[in-house]
Amino acid sequence: MQNAIRTSVLVAGLTALFMAVGYFIGGTGGMMVALGIAAVTNFIGYWNSDKMVLRMQNAQEVSPSQAPDLYRMVEQLSANAGIPMPKVYLIHTDQPNAFATGRNPQNAAVAVSSGLLRVLDQREVAGVIAHELAHIRSRDTLTMTITATFAGAISTLAQFGLFFGGGNNRENPLGMVGTLLMVFLAPIAAMIVQMAVSRTREYEADKDGAEICRDPLALASALSKIAAASGRTVNVAAERNPAMAHMYIINPLNGARMDNLFSTHPDTGNRIAALQQLAQQMPQARATGGGWARQAQSRGPAPQGDAPASSAWRTPSSGARRDTDSRGGPWG
What is residue 40's predicted lDDT score, i.e. its pLDDT? 79
Give residue 177's pLDDT band: very low, low, confident or very high (50, 70, 90): low
Average pLDDT over residues 105-132: 95
Q: For 62-102, what is each residue's pLDDT tens digit?
A: 999 999 999 999 999 999 999 999 999 999 999 999 999 98
Q: Where are the domains of the chain?
A: 2-298
Q: Which of 61, 75, 124, 132 is flagged as catalytic?
A: 132
Report whether 62 contacts 28 (CB < 8 A).
no
Q: For 138-168, what is each residue's pLDDT tens digit?
A: 988 887 777 777 777 776 776 666 555 554 5
Report whether 158 contacts 23 (CB < 8 A).
no
**What is the distance between the alpha carbons of residues 126 and 122, in angstroms, rounded to a whole number?**
6
Does the active-site annotation cover 124? no
**What 8-state DSSP symbol labels residue 93?**
B
* Pairwise pLDDT comparison (315 vs 24), residue with the higher score: 24
**What is the distance between the alpha carbons of residues 121 and 197, in angstroms, rounded to a whole number?**
30
Give residue 292's pLDDT band: very low, low, confident or very high (50, 70, 90): low
What is residue 163's predicted lDDT score, i.e. its pLDDT? 58
